[in-house]
Amino acid sequence: MKNQKHFSELTNAVLYDEDHHLLDDELGRLCRRHYELGICSDYTAGILLQRMRKHQLFLAFSGMPFRSPRLGHGNLVLGRDFQGHLVYIPIPFLNAHTLLVANSGAGKTTMSRLYALQVARHLRGLWLFDLRKREYRLLRRYLAAMGINLIIVPGRALKLNILQIPEGVEPSDFIPRIADCLTLVLALPPRASKIFQTTLHKLYRNFGVFEGKRLFPTLFDLFLAVKTDTDLNPPARLAILDSLEPVLRSIGPNIAYRRGWSTEDLARRHLVLEFAGLTETDKNLLLNYLLVSEFISRVARGVSNPRMDFLVMVDDAQRISSISQEHHSPVGDLITFIRGTGIGLFLGTQSTHGLLPQVMANTSLKILGRVGSMGDYLEMGRVMGLTSEQVQWAQHHLRPGLFIGQVGEGDWRYPFVFEVPRPKFDLDATEGTDSDPADRDPLPELPVTPMEDQS
């Protein structure tokens, strides 16, 4: 707040102190109360003036063009501001979704691990997608000390049916969703979506899905149906077969179930989903299916404005939050109306390039770390309301562990600088490999129905 010339120096000091969060301690509140009552002594006035001048001097030497955040209440610690104060927000703020943009080495994973440790005991379900490394499994020991069972699920231990109808969803509503998802993931021409929809209608009818039966066709059935239907558009048909066959050979055993794990069951658990070792297409398919299925299931079941009970953290979310010239992102389309279903999304990307407008518009908490191009600083500066001075400061001063945040919930809207500490995690806590029995069958309590031999 700029000083008003017609105010006294003391009044300007009080306004400045209030605006910069300098009177929140017991002594500050007492001095402010004396000022309001008109009983401000010279000693009290000196305290108010001293706090203003000290803060102005600090800003002058630090060159920090940001306000001190008024975020001192909540149960999730974001980090420390530039004065060393803890920055808090309420965990329900994450229900409005989070976008973190920072390049490799800027501290995205460290941040997400710290936040996961804090929120896990407040949630019924937590999915931590580890797409490239094994950096979340070390949380298992720490969460176990809180009484929380963090289950490690390697990508090749999943038991899914990509064509399984989610709980509460009508087949006619699911078909276009999964058809668009397959078209996007397999990088097929738009005509392929129409072929998928037509073929899926036939398959679901043959399996009695429209009549309520709960054993479903699989991608093997879809592949065979497209292969044997020579009346389909030849170029689109061949493109589908060429793209789908490598997926079936790569992760076929994971998706060879008439009825696999339901996302409704998985959303009640704390999981690390490790996709390292899978091809990029396989990762995209599994990631999009899991998210889209749970999203549309909650919408279809009429889940409305509950307390957030499920958080999804994706450290490398570029694949689900970007758009090409030909394809829409199913997750991007759904993010506009899943906020009221109790699901929070925490999306981490390395750049703003290609990010969907829906993602930008529907992520309330935005965090900017060190990025690699001025374009990323300018784009995030635009959506976060940064001034040109603040954008320039970010380009020259952000380093690993130092971030700029903006909270869209609550009363504080101004961008602020905060630092995330780098904890010393016990690397021995990563015990367990894909050869462990628990990793081969991490959820034995969930029943599945395998399909017939697909060889």
pLDDT at 304: 64
Please give, one letter per residue, the 3-state secondary structure of 209-226.
HHHCCCCCCCHHHHHHHH
Cβ–Cβ < 8 Å for 89, 407: yes
b/e per residue 106-141 (b: at least 16 CB within 10 A): bbbbbbbbbbbbebbebbebbbbbbbeebbbbbbbe
pLDDT at 17: 86
pLDDT at 264: 93
Q: Taking 80 as the threshold, does the pLDDT of residue 311 lie above it?
A: yes
pLDDT at 139: 94
Handedness of CA 154, 156, 158, 163 (dihedral sign): positive
pLDDT at 333: 66
Between residues 299 and 182, the one the model is more confident about: 182
10 Å CB burial of residue 22 (0-12, 13-18, 19+) is buried
Cα–Cα dist 315/309, whole Å: 20
Cβ–Cβ < 8 Å for 257, 161: yes
Distances (CA, A) of 344 to 90, 238, 306, 340: 13, 39, 12, 10
Backbone angles phi, psi at 359, to 5 degrees: -70, -45
Which parts of 4-144 are beta strand (E)? 76-81, 86-89, 98-101, 125-130
Q: Taking 90 as the threshold, does the pLDDT of residue 340 lie above it?
A: no
When the pLDDT of each residue in the chain is averaged and rounded to a whole number, the result is 88
**94-108, 205-219, 271-285, 438-452: segment of lowest average pLDDT:** 438-452
Strands 270-274 vs 125-130: parallel, antiparallel or unpaired: parallel
Backbone angles phi, psi at 384, to 5 degrees: -95, -5
Distances (CA, A) of 278 to 253, 316, 321, 370, 430: 13, 14, 20, 28, 20
Q: Taking 80 as the threshold, does the pLDDT of residue 432 lie above it?
A: no
pLDDT at 356: 82
pLDDT at 455: 46
Mean pLDDT of 148-159: 94
Mean pLDDT of 371-382: 94
Q: Taking 50 as the threshold, does the pLDDT of residue 284 lie above it?
A: yes
What's the pLDDT band for 342 if we cut at 50, 70, 90? confident
Q: Which of 188, 223, 217 is nearest to 205 (CA)?
A: 217
**76-158+266-438: which CATH topology?**
Rossmann fold (3.40.50)
pLDDT at 24: 82
Q: Is 66 helix (H, G, I), strand (E, B) or coil?
A: coil
Stated as kind and residue range, the H or E segment containing 377 is helix 374-384
Distances (CA, A) of 153 to 105, 146, 293, 400: 25, 20, 18, 29
Q: Taking 70 as the threshold, does the pLDDT of residue 4 lie above it?
A: no
Q: Which of 120, 69, 130 is nearest to 367 (CA)?
A: 69
Q: What angle do CA 201, 202, 203 make, to 5 degrees?
A: 95
Q: What is the pLDDT of residues 170-228, one digit of tens each?
A: 999 999 999 998 998 898 998 999 999 999 999 999 999 999 999 999 999 999 999 99
Mean pLDDT of 45-73: 86
Cα–Cα dist 101/308, whole Å: 23
pLDDT at 439: 54
| DSSP structure string for 99-113 | EEE--TTSSHHHHHH
pLDDT at 435: 42
Backbone angles phi, psi at 433, to 5 degrees: -130, 180
b/e per residue 398-408 (b: at least 16 CB within 10 A): bebbbbbbbbb
- Greatest mean pLDDT range, 1-5, 375-379, 408-412: 375-379
pLDDT at 397: 93
Stated as kind and residue range, the H or E segment containing 436 is none
Distances (CA, A) of 179 to 71, 211, 287: 44, 21, 15
Residues 6+ apart with CB under 8 A from 30: none
Q: What angle do CA 156, 158, 159 make, to 5 degrees?
A: 125
**Residue 453 in tokens:** 């031999």
Q: Taking 80 as the threshold, does the pLDDT of residue 371 lie above it?
A: yes
CB atoms within 10 A of CB 60: 9
pLDDT at 429: 52
pLDDT at 339: 66
Q: Taking 60 as the threshold, does the pLDDT of residue 325 lie above it?
A: no
Q: Which of 167, 335, 134 is nearest to 267 (CA)?
A: 167
Stated as kind and residue range, the H or E segment containing 312 is strand 310-314
Q: What is the pLDDT of residues 110-121, one digit of tens each?
A: 999 999 999 999
Mean pLDDT of 263-274: 95
pLDDT at 326: 44
Q: Map out the domains of the chain as residue ranges.
A: 9-62, 76-158+266-438
Q: What is the pLDDT of residues 389-403, one digit of tens each?
A: 999 999 999 999 999
Q: Is 355 helix (H, G, I), strand (E, B) or coil?
A: strand
pLDDT at 341: 78
Q: Taking 70 as the threshold, does the pLDDT of residue 263 lie above it?
A: yes
Mean pLDDT of 415-443: 70
CB atoms within 10 A of CB 289: 25
Residues of the chain with pLDDT > 90, as a percent, come to: 62
Q: Taking 70 as the threshold, does the pLDDT of residue 237 lie above it?
A: yes
CB atoms within 10 A of CB 447: 10
